[in-house]
Structure 1
């Protein structure tokens, strides 16, 4: 699969929006859930095509919802702090290139433990990792 600079930029923005407080290891884990969706083995994936398509799929990554406070930064209306964004770009590069192994065990979903309650789908899914303030899952019904 050919990736573009747009894929890298959208993935890094998503990592910043979803996991900027998690450090590099946590951002890598979130990036792997996205990569696992990108490479789901289907020729026409429900998740979207490529990194940008998966990240921008409506209602999949809340940071891209227009009512989310992160959206103004991700859309370019406000500048993302350069140092924070550089880390997200490093995580995106490492995962897109396959330079780091998947710490999530094949997860395609996660949720932040800061949510008032876990999403309903988590009850029937297989938990693969708990890292920082995120819990990762695969085999989500």
Structure 2
């Protein structure tokens, strides 16, 4: 049985692409090379293997690697405007945990995201934040004024964006509740972690 050169070239390309997919990346150069050429030889001429940039897979999102959460926060640029969901999440981080370490702020953001996805709470971040009797900083259905020129607000926005983008894994996993460590409510819940001055539960 004889095989045409084009068939062999396509088989080699498929093998390379399959191996790359197992390694966890898909090179743009490979995708471009997969487009057939009119003369049948363009595949071999255009095939290039390009090493991927380092990435971490977190949840359902790929994110650039960073040495630390602090480095990732510092790399974020304050946007000119925020959409409503990011504003609600950043506001909750700001009022609930702006004095906490960054992993504690991310943990608070994760609780709010988990609640919105749980089916047990409102399905939006703003709905979770403004749900009656859940967050003490919410009064009359509104947040207090925010010092938007402060570093604390800029950090809260960065942490909110990182949480929404799945760019850093939180240490509290699927937590749905938290309280300050200075109090001891009689919750019959699974304790997951203490991060900073908050204790998290599921």
Shorter chain as normaliser: what TM range? 0.7 to 0.9
1:94-122 per-position Cα deviation (integer Å, ceiling 9, x unaligned): 1111111131021000000133xx1222x
Cα 1:120–1:80 change in 2 (3 A) is: farther
Match of 1:31 among 106, 109, 131: 109
- Quote the residue 1:134 is aligned against: 198
Q: 1:80 Cα shift?
A: 4.6
**TM-score, normalising length: structure 2:** 0.55
- Quote the residue 1:107 is aligned against: 175
Q: 1:12 Cα shift?
A: 0.5
Match of 1:61 among 100, 121, 135: 135
1 or 2 for the larger relative contact order (CA 8 Å, sep ≥6)?
Answer: 1
> 5+ residue gaps in structure 1?
none
- Confirm or deny: 8 A CA contact 1:56 1:64 kept in the other structure: yes
- Confirm or deny: 8 A CA contact 1:112 1:133 kept in the other structure: yes
> 5+ residue gaps in structure 2?
1-81
Match of 1:75 among 106, 129, 144: 144
Larger Rg: 2
**TM-score, normalising length: structure 1:** 0.77
1:14 aligns with 2:88: no
Residues paired across the two proteins, number = 120
